[in-house]
Amino acid sequence: MSSAEKTARSMLKQAHELGNTLRDIVRRDLADESRRFNDTLSERIQLASEAIVQAVKAKEAIAAGASSLSSRLDKAYRKYSKNNNLEEFRTILRDSLHEIHQLREQHETVAQSMREAQTPSRSAVEIVERFAVELQRAAGSWEATSREIDEIIGNLCDPNPAVSLVDLEKYLLDNGFEVILAGENRTPESIEQARKELGHSDSSE
């Protein structure tokens, strides 16, 4: 065997060894990055799923509470229209406002959980982008899939209040209840305070 062939064989052996080393490195990196990707993506979806399920239950309860409260308040108002018992209706109205305030607080808690689920510390898109940067392969299809995941979560994260709660607040503002809340001392200040209790925003703000 000539010296040149020996040199060639030695170089080819080194190339094979480097190839095997590279395969091991790629295999290990793929396994590590894939595991990290799967764990992070699963955690993102699981946390969002838990938040969404709890929010759906809470919003159903808020809607039911608003509907029930609206019915009771309307019944009391119709009764007041007949018997003119101002003190009785004022008491019911104030109690109702307290319950509405609780419904608003519950809704804000739900809305906050939805905002957090919709904008986590790392979205599915960002998870995929990091994976693509590390591996430099198949970023397009992974990103498209992750965008679909974020879109589904985004569509379920509806931070808007229940329609029945909006209707109830509109009912309170449209029926002139601030006059009843203000009582006998119907100064502009007391009327404005009553409107604020009913949930009316000051137009000057």
Within-domain flag for 182: no
Percent of the chain with pLDDT over 90: 25
Mean pLDDT of 16-29: 64
Least confident of 45-54, 143-152, 191-200: 143-152
Q: Six-digit token pair at 184?
A: 């006998």
Q: Are 161 and 82 in contact (CB under 8 A)?
A: no
Task: Judge whether 144 lies within some domain.
Answer: yes
- The answer to the question of residue 185 being in a domain is no
For 32-44, what is each residue's pLDDT tens digit? 788 888 888 888 8
Q: What is the number of domains present in the chain?
A: 1
pLDDT surpasses 80 at 192: yes
pLDDT number for residue 64? 94
List, as one string, the DSSP characters of the chain: --HHHHHHHHHHHHHHHHHHHHHHHHHHHHHHHHHHHHHHHHHHHHHHHHHHHHHHHHHHHHHHHHHHHHHHHHHHHHHHHHH--HHHHHHHHHHHHHHHHHHHHHHHHHHHHHHHHHS-SS-HHHHHHHHHHHH-SSHHHHHHHHHHHHHHHHHH---SPPHHHHHHHHHHHHTTHHHHHHTT---HHHHHHHHHHTTPPPTT-
Closest by CA position to 58, among listed 101, 102, 109: 109
Q: Is residue 171 part of a domain?
A: no
Please compute the mean of the pLDDT values over residues 24-32 and round it to a whole number: 69
Inside any domain, residue 80: no
Determine if the pTM surpasses 0.85. Answer: no
**Domain residues for 134?**
7-54+87-159
Residue 82 placed within a domain: no
Tell me, yes or no, whether 114 lies in a domain.
Answer: yes
- b/e string for 162-188 if b means 16 or more Cβ within 10 A? bebbeebbeebeeeebbebbbeeeeee
